[in-house]
Homo-oligomer: A and B are copies of this chain.
Amino acid sequence: MNIKSYSYQDIKLLLGEHVIIGDVNQIKITSLENIDTNKENAICFIDKNRKDKEELLDKTLAKVVVIDDKELKKQYLTKVLIQVKDPKLTISFVGNNLFTLKMPLGIIHESAVIHPEAIIDKLVFIGPNCTIGKVKIGSNSIIRSNVTLFDNVEIGSGVDISSGSVIGSEGYGYNRDQDGKLIQFPHIGRVIIENNVSIGTNVSIDRGALSDTVIGKGTKIDNLVHIAHNVIIGEDCCIVANAVICGSTTIGKKSYIAPSSCVRDAIHIGENTLIGLSATVMKSVPSNEVWVGSPALPLSKYVKNRKKISDL
């Protein structure tokens, strides 16, 4: 294997605003590693929240370390320190550009089954064993393997849908007739996946009944999430693993829905909210609030209740 080496010139533009402490000519990077590495030619970072920065710098063998812009107590003559505002963000830009595999665009794997009337941009990747209905897919979007897209799914550009996910399936909307038999309500809406959305593995997103299910621009959905019919999720949200968003619920932008939480149907979660791990949300949540527990309560009320019980 031919290992590539990157110089300061290669990474300069990826670093954003930065200050170099040390000799830039010493920057010869062959890998991206954790700070506890024993590889000299690695680039590493130290999270800005770490209290033990000096200790970590003393120990690491890596010569190039991205670190925050606070003053250090001593000098590290054998290293090159790259000071930035948010080292984790900076290392993300470096890593994503230099060390992660990009899927080649312009490729539809021969084993994928594609509806003849699907409208698919030329610059996409569609992986093996996918089943793609009568959909629209924008440029630079990646559909990995064993994904199913039903008809009437509209996918923007820069979208990444990972393996095993199913999007656009019939929603779960049953009503009992006189005999108690379950009659399905018709589901003829679409799923709209806006630009730069990422969707993890084994995710299920149902299409809307009479209107659409919408995943807003830049929102990131983790593995094994269920998004029911007619849910509308705003921009730049995090919907983390195993979360369930029930039918017709709406979520404002920049909200964070933690793993294994469950949000009931037909409510509204405001902008910039945080729903805690395994929370069960039974009513609408105002913007900018943190709700936790089952049933979910505002954090301060939840903490008060816990204290009451512990004080008994």
Binding site for B on A (CB under 8 A): 32-34, 86, 88-89, 91-93, 95-96, 99-101, 109, 111, 113, 127-131, 144-146, 148, 150-151, 162-166, 169-170, 172, 174-177, 180-188, 198, 200-204, 206, 210-211, 218-220, 222-224, 226, 228, 236, 238, 240-242, 244, 246, 254, 259-260, 262, 264, 277-278, 280, 282, 293-294, 305, 308-310, 312
Give the contacting residue for A280; candidates B144, B150, B203, B260; CB below 8 A.
B260
| Residue of B with least CB distance to A111 | B113
B188 x A164 contact (CB < 8 A): no
User: When the two chains form their complex, are residues B204 and A202 in contact, meaning their CB atoms are under 8 A apart?
Assistant: yes
State the copy count for this chain. 3
Question: Told that A128-B131, A246-B259, A246-B277 touch, could you supply 19 new A-B pairs with CB distance under 8 A?
Answer: A34-B210, A86-B177, A89-B183, A145-B148, A148-B163, A148-B201, A150-B163, A162-B166, A163-B166, A164-B164, A166-B202, A166-B223, A180-B236, A182-B218, A182-B236, A224-B224, A224-B244, A260-B262, A305-B310
Residue of B nearest to A113 (CB): B128
Closest CB of chain B to A64's CB: distance in Å? Answer: 14
A127 CB contacts on chain B under 8 angstroms: 131
Taking CB atoms, residues of chain B closer than 8 Å to A293 are 294
- Compute how far the CA of A200 lies from the CA of B167 in the bound complex, rounded to whole angstroms: 11
A220 & B92 in contact (Cβ 8 Å cutoff)? no
Shortest A11–chain B CB gap in Å is: 13
Identity of the chain B residue whose Cβ is nearest the Cβ of A280 in the assembled complex: B278
Instruction: Tell me the minimal C-beta distance from A197 to chain B in angstroms.
Output: 10
Q: Which residues of B contact A264 (CB under 8 A)?
A: 259, 277
The 5 closest A-B CB pairs, nearest first, are: A95-B186, A131-B145, A204-B223, A260-B262, A113-B128
A151's closest neighbor in chain B, by CB?
B101
Residues of B within 8 A of A95 (CB): 185-186, 188
